[in-house]
Amino acid sequence: MEFAGKIALVTGAAQGIGQAVARALAARGAKVAALDANADRLGAVVAEIQASGHHAAPFPADITDRGAVDGAVDRIERELGPIDFLVNVAGVLRVDAIEALRDEDWERTFAVNARGVFYLCRAVAWRMVPRQSGAIVTVGSNAGRTPRMHMSIYAASKAAAAMFTKCMGLELAQHGIRCNVVSPGSTDTPMQRALWKDGSGAQAVIAGSPGAFKVGIPLQRIADPADVADAVLFLLSDQARHITMHDLCVDGGATLGA
């Protein structure tokens, strides 16, 4: 299988895109180190993967805690082996008008979406460098490249994580380590559904909202988490062996190629 024997660390693996990435990697032969702060939900996801005959192990950890991250990475390398792939998916979303946002909204969002990415990348990269190989993918957002109403903090945090990943790719290229970004648009996840007021939420997103300066989705559907997972797996694979510092947008055309 494509990723047979590879060790893949996936954060945010308990639901949504992270869960889809963990499933897809395991189905293609990788040994998945599934990391999430929600230990119960993470355990259920790992049990499902194992029941399908694939390899996964749970590593509950809070990525905003540097010590917890370093400890989890140490444990993964001891128990599973050298990490080949890191996929940063864990994220949070705070939505509100700027004048209504609180200090803690900013701090929490950046703690997870940006600082957590930094902690994970640093812990994994210094282990990859002596091995002269590895691939890292950070899941950003199309909001990190196109302004969105009431998403200022989220957009800024995702833009920060994306640029950090690209800079890391420049520094680590000499060591054979590739670093890329996948930027989804609206995707059918619990985070997305929490934004919908009723059962017509998906159709409203597809149609767009001139008042919110959103053009809708030209491909006429909300992304499935598997759509994003496929993009992540491509960038991890040997098919992308000459691609680094790239930001692949998976949004059905919602940002009009911006």
Give the separation between CA 31 and CA 4, rounded to whole angstroms.
Answer: 8
Active site residue 119: no
Q: Which of 3, 59, 85, 154 is catalytic?
A: 154
Could you tell me which residues come within 8 angstroms of residue 218 by beta carbon, excluding any fewer than 6 positions away?
Answer: 252, 253, 254, 256
Look at residue 241 in the predicted model and tell me its pLDDT.
98
Query: First and final CA of the chain: distance in angstroms?
Result: 35
7-185+225-249 is a CATH 3.40.630.30 domain: no
Look at residue 1 in the predicted model and tell me its pLDDT.
75
Q: Give residue 138's identity as a one-letter amino acid code.
A: T
Please report, for residues 29, 95, 191, 192, the alpha-carbon distance to residue 16 in angstroms, rounded to integers and kept in the order given: 21, 19, 8, 9
Angle at 134 between CA 25 and CA 80, to 5 degrees: 60
Closest listed residue to residue 4, CA positions, set 20, 27, 23, 22: 27
Provide block-wise average pLDDT over 10 residues at a time, the chain (258 residues).
Answer: 95 98 99 99 99 99 99 99 99 96 98 99 98 99 94 98 99 99 90 73 76 83 94 99 98 86
pTM: 0.94
Give the separation between CA 55 and CA 47, rounded to whole angstroms.
Answer: 10
Domain ranges of the chain: 7-185+225-249, 188-222
Look at residue 212 in the predicted model and tell me its pLDDT.
74
